């Protein structure tokens, strides 16, 4: 299951990406927000991050204006490795190297088609399991 959330700025893009995920056959859960009324992105980052660390969700997707606020908030939750992305190389690398478990996207900086491409790479790329990367991720865990 993919846990999905946004603030008001990310609401429209989130709807497009939920549709894309459903078209691809993924099970999703939408943790809000459910309108374009102004709201606070940390509230939705928390819900999605908790769904991921609890194991209820396999991965998370968070959308705000830039993706940055969502990533700052989600990364405060122990066990979360959230990556804000805008290019395909980083989307692949953050899965292979960082085993990122939440993708953060910026609705004010990305076209829908690009966002879908980044989401596809994020979901389709496995963690490399390389010992160097496993060791570095363990050190990330020690930081929080």
What are the residues binding ligand RB5 (CB under 6 A)? 7, 9, 41, 64-66, 68-69
Closest approach, Cβ 107 to ligand RB5, in A, equals 8
Please report how close the Cβ of residue 49 comes to ligand RB5 at its closest, in angstroms: 15
Identified catalytic residue from 8, 20, 39, 97: 97
Q: What is the 3-state secondary structure (H, E, C) of the chain?
A: CEEEEECCCCHHHHHHHHHHHHHCCCCEEECCCCCCCCCCHHHHHHHHHHHHHCCCCCEEEEEECCCHHHHHHHCCCCCCCEEECCCHHHHHHHHHCCCCCEEEEECCCCCHHHHHHHHHHHHHCCCCCCHHHHHHHHHHHHHC
Closer residue to ligand RB5 in complex, CB, 53/109: 109
Residue placing its CB nearer to ligand RB5 in the complex, 2 or 64: 64
Active-site residue flag, 20: no
Closest to ligand RB5 by CB, 112 vs 128, is 112
39 catalytically annotated: no
In the complex, the smallest distance separating the C-beta of residue 39 from ligand RB5, rounded to whole angstroms, is 9
- Indicate which residues carry an active-site annotation: 64, 97
């Amino acid at each position: 299951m993919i846990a999905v959330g946004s603030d008001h700025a990310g609401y429209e893009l989130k709807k497009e990406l939920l549709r894309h995920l459903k078209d691809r056959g993924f099970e999703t859960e939408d943790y809000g927000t459910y309108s374009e009324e102004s709201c606070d992105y940390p509230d939705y980052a928390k819900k999605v991050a908790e769904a991921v660390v609890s194991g209820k969700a396999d991965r998370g997707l968070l959308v705000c204006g830039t993706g940055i606020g969502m990533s700052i908030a989600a990364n405060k939750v122990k066990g979360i490795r959230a990556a804000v992305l805008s290019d395909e190389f980083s989307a692949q690398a953050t899965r292979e190297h960082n085993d990122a478990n939440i993708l953060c996207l910026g609705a004010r900086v990305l076209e829908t088609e690009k966002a879908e491409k980044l989401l596809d790479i994020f979901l389709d790329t496995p963690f490399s399991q390389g010992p160097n990367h496993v060791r570095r991720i363990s050190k990330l865990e020690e930081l929080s």
